[in-house]
Amino acid sequence: MPRTTLVLGGARSGKSARALALAIEAPKTFVATAEAIDGEMSERIALHQAERGVDWSLIEAPLDIVSAVESHSDGTLLIDCLTIWLNNLMYHDRDVAVESGRLIDALKAAVAPIILVSNEVGLSIAPENALARRFRDAQGRLNQQVAAVVDRVEFIAAGLPMVLKG
């Protein structure tokens, strides 16, 4: 298994299922970036919990995934997902460039397997409002930065993985 893997794809492409399938080295730790802020998100979280089963430990880190990466030294760490993390950073008015840089540094120093899930949001039409365009651009930059430092990158379309790197 590569030390670091980025799994990219669109909404409902099969990214999370692929990331779970790649996570074979125990112990396994799931880093959740989503928060149950409404009923729909609560349902999505419950579905993800059911998909991964009971053999996972959980870290809830809507803003601080870097600490999870920095402290990870054994087994597989799966971060799902960078898109929600970026949204949380922007919502809480955190410095995206600083936090992204911290993540990149932590990934470079990682010693045990880490799998990151992220949405590819740049394949659609340009959003009509400035905030959505700012988010799309920030997500594209983050994906590029992470892809540059990880060992393997897979793009998922229709549930099928395509290896882009590694």
CATH number reported for the structural domain that contains residue 18 in this entry:
3.40.50.300
Which DSSP symbol is given to 78? E
Q: Identify the pLDDT of residue 54.
A: 84
Band of residue 166 on the pLDDT scale cut at 50, 70, 90: very high
Question: How many Å apart are CA 75 and CA 125, to the nearest integer?
Answer: 39
Cα–chain center distance at 106:
14
- Is 48 a known active-site residue? yes
Of 2, 45, 48, 151, the catalytic one is 48
Total domains present in the chain: 1
- As a dihedral over the C-alpha atoms of residue 24, residue 99, residue 44, residue 5, rounded to 10 degrees, the angle is -20
pLDDT in tens, 83-129: 999 999 999 999 999 999 999 999 999 999 999 999 999 887 888 89
Q: How many CB atoms lie within 10 A of CB 138?
A: 18
Counting residues of the chain whose pLDDT is more than 70, the rounded percentage is 100
Q: What's the mean per-residue pLDDT of the chain?
A: 94
The burial of 163, by beta-carbon neighbours within 10 Å (0-12 exposed, 13-18 middle, 19 or more buried), is given as exposed
Domain carrying residue 147: 4-165
Classify residue 12 by its DSSP letter: T
* pLDDT tens-digit map of 63-78: 999 999 999 999 999 9
Q: In what order do the strands lie in the sheet with 76-80?
A: 56-60, 28-32, 76-80, 114-119, 4-9, 152-157, 160-165
Q: Which residue has the tokens 């960078």?
A: 82
In percent, the amount of the chain with pLDDT more than 90 equals 79
Question: Is the pLDDT reported for residue 150 higher than 90?
Answer: yes
